[in-house]
Amino acid sequence: MMPKKVLRSQSAHYPFQVLLNKTKVLTREGRGTVVDKQTEWIYVKLDKNGTVIKTSIYLTELIETA
């Protein structure tokens, strides 16, 4: 099944379903893929440089889901 793109006008704030290594989100540092989740904290691997950052899921927007 192809990933489902979310239009910018349809991007959603939490709550949304998080699938590790599949869900793409937009953070203050850039866009990336969720690689780990612990309660409200998520770890996002950024597309631009591969760095993994920790951020609150409430500060992100959903871009793409499986």
What residue has token string 């793109």? 5
Domain ranges of the chain: 4-65
Task: Measure the CA–CA gap between 65 and 51, rounded to whole angstroms.
Answer: 20
Does domain 4-65 match CATH 2.30.30?
yes
pTM of the predicted structure, to 2 decimals: 0.80
Task: Check residue 19 and give its pLDDT.
Answer: 92
41 CB contacts (<8 Å, ≥6 apart)? Answer: 54, 55, 56, 57
More confident residue, 4 or 15: 15
